[in-house]
Amino acid sequence: MRVGLLTGGGDVPGLNAAIRAVVKRGEGEHGHSIVGFRNGWRGVVDGDVQPLTRGHIRNVLSVGGTLLGTARYHPHSSDGGLDAVMATLEAERIEALICIGGDGTLHAASKVAEAGVKIVAIPKTIDNDVWGTDRSIGFDSAVSIATEAVDRIHTTAESHNRVMIVEVMGRTAGWIAVTAGIAGGAELVLAPEDPFDIEKVVRFLKHRHRAHASFSIVVVAEGAVPAEGTAMHYETQVGKFGEIVAGAIGERLKAEIEARTGFDTRVTVLGHTQRGGVPTPTDRILGSRFGVAAIDAITRGESNVMTALRGEEVVLVPLSEVAGKVKHVPASLLDVARALA
């Protein structure tokens, strides 16, 4: 078989592990030819292909990013995009396509699948908000980086009477904020799943600083919002590519806290460092398992499914069940973050 492979959306650590696994298993055991498309769906539309053999995947397991490149482009959103996809797949004689991506890429994949292409998807996003799987590739690495940052800010915060705000990514979900907040021992975690009341936040900080502490660390998700009917009015700020504007909620929160408490308050916006660097072992293993499962599924003739982690096993779920849904942080985990503040 000739099998296409693309990575779409923002890059994350662990993508290369998945690519490597598809090639090793696909070429080495099943005898398939693996064809890579460069820069996500863009490369399918443009016919920008590269062969992927064992020689191309040497020494990539521990390298972040994606050797195929990626882009935030969706063929169904532009005129003739889907036609160009079909034309390229036919010209390249691609019998099935593996799409590694997050929300946007998976949505595009479901559109392309509707047009008759056999697709197996692999979920990746540092935001961990893909429905149907315990984990997506990249999340563990992002949490590792965010926790390290909170650890660092801890040692420096302890010497000064300050409120330190750390703003992390996550889109409309609070996965990175909640997990890095718990792991880093933050005093307060603000996540989209639990809109905050600025007056309660301020009361907590005042109480804490009056009581005994000389500092507080607040981890805030970029998508965190105030609860309706509370004292602070704010709407999530969105950039030209639909992404949440880095630093917006962090800076606004700093202004509110300083105005209401007088405490010296500093913001650190982790930004792009969260999606770079050496993947954690967990992300390499997840990428490897998903890659093997995807090419095995294609070999068995399955299509329009997504690989998913459920407990200790990798399973397949219908793509149609996944697309368009957001997986939020469960109440039990929000509760642990609150309990340990």
Find out whether 170 is annotated in a ligand binding site.
yes
Q: Which residue is catalytic, options 127, 129, 140, 283?
A: 127
Number of residues near its own copies (by CB under 8 A): 77
CA distances (Å), origin 45, targets 39, 65, 225, 228, 269: 10, 22, 38, 43, 35
What residues between 18 and 77 interact with its own copies by CB under 8 A? 20-21, 24-25, 28-29, 39, 59, 61-66, 69-71
SS3 assignment, position 12? coil
Measured from the CB atom, is 170 or 226 closer to its own copies?
A: 170
Find out whether 134 is annotated in a ligand binding site.
no
Find out whether 232 is annotated in a ligand binding site.
no
Identity of the amino acid at 240: K
Nearest Cα neighbor of 67 from 22, 121, 113 is 22
Q: Which stretch binds its own copies (CB under 8 A): 74-82, 85-93, 156-164, 227-235?
A: 156-164
Nearest Cα neighbor of 319 from 108, 96, 5, 127 is 108
To its own copies, the closest distance from the beta carbon of 315 in angstroms equals 10
- Residue 127 is among the residues annotated as catalytic for this protein: yes
**What's the angle, vertex CA 9, arms to CA 6 and CA 10, rounded to 5?**
120
By CB under 8 A, residue 340 contacts its own copies: yes
What residues between 72 and 131 interact with its own copies by CB under 8 A? none
What residues between 131 and 150 interact with its own copies by CB under 8 A? 134, 140, 143-145, 147-149
Identity of the amino acid at 69: G
Identity of the amino acid at 220: V
To its own copies, the closest distance from the beta carbon of 13 in angstroms equals 7
The token pair at 320 is: 């149609």
Give me the active site residues, please.
Answer: 127
Instruction: Give binding residues for Mg(2+) as ranges.
Output: 103
